């Protein structure tokens, strides 16, 4: 094998290295350090420590009920999944049954809404740590519900992740805890889904008033 080929890490190799790290007892400590970094940077507190499962056997599932599934150690992925963990626990503590829904199976407007909010919050937890720019504009939000459900995959991925992040960022910048709580308790209504900048304005106004 030539040098160039050897230097390219496959997912299998990255998985093997992460497993080795876990065997040596170094993984847990490292993940706890990432949790602490995130708490400090975002000024919030996680609800305990999730269970991390290192596995190659992941199908459309990265976070589920207190467990984060990773194929290998990647800080961006860990920070993103910690966002799902935080929002899930927060909703449960508030007594809410918030179902995220999987993009593949989104057929109803409220599934699109929950997916947008969930990925928006998780992308916030990721991007604020990585320092990646917000590259979405308000003018890119759809003006019909149909556009959330039936559109090309690239557009939908951009909409749910980057559009979700762009939606919640000004709210969570005020306070991650207060912002997430307010959003969870006051999700966009059907008519607000096609006027998302107005939804954001409404939430920001209420948060401003409660200060």
The residues binding Zn ion (CB under 5 A) are 119, 122
User: At closest approach, how far in Å is the CB of 119 from Zn ion?
Assistant: 5
Q: Decide: helix, strand or coil at residue 69.
A: strand
CB nearer to Zn ion: give 112 or 122.
122
Q: Decide: helix, strand or coil at residue 54.
A: strand
Count of beta carbons in the 10 Å neighbourhood of residue 64? 15
Sign of the four-CA dihedral 77, 80, 86, 87: negative
Which residue has the closest beta carbon to Zn ion?
122
User: At closest approach, how far in Å is the CB of 160 from Zn ion?
Assistant: 9
User: At closest approach, how far in Å is the CB of 84 from Zn ion?
Assistant: 6
User: At closest approach, how far in Å is the CB of 136 from Zn ion?
Assistant: 16
CB nearer to Zn ion: give 119 or 162.
119
CB nearer to Zn ion: give 27 or 117.
117
Per DSSP bridges, beta strands 67-70 and 51-54 are parallel
CB nearer to Zn ion: give 61 or 190.
61
| ∠ Cα 45 49 50 (to 5°) | 120
């Amino acid at each position: 094998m030539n040098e160039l080929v050897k230097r390219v890490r496959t997912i299998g190799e990255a998985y093997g290295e992460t497993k080795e790290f876990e065997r040596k007892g170094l993984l847990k400590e490292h993940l706890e350090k990432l949790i602490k970094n995130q708490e400090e940077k975002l000024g919030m507190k996680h609800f305990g420590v999730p269970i991390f499962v290192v596995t190659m056997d992941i199908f459309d599932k990265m976070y589920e009920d207190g467990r984060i599934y990773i194929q290998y150690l990647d800080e961006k992925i860990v920070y993103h999944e910690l966002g799902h963990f935080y929002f899930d626990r927060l909703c449960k503590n508030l007594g809410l049954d918030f179902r995220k829904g999987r993009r593949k199976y989104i057929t109803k407007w409220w599934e699109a809404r929950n997916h947008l909010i969930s990925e928006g919050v998780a992308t916030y937890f990721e991007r604020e740590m990585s320092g990646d720019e917000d590259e979405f504009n308000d003018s890119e939000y759809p003006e019909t519900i149909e556009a959330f459900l039936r559109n090309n995959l690239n557009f939908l991925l951009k909409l749910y992740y980057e559009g979700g992040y762009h939606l919640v960022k000004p709210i969570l910048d005020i306070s991650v805890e207060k912002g997430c709580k307010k959003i969870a308790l006051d999700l966009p209504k059907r008519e607000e889904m096609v006027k998302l900048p107005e939804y954001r304005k409404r939430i920001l106004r209420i948060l401003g008033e409660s200060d």
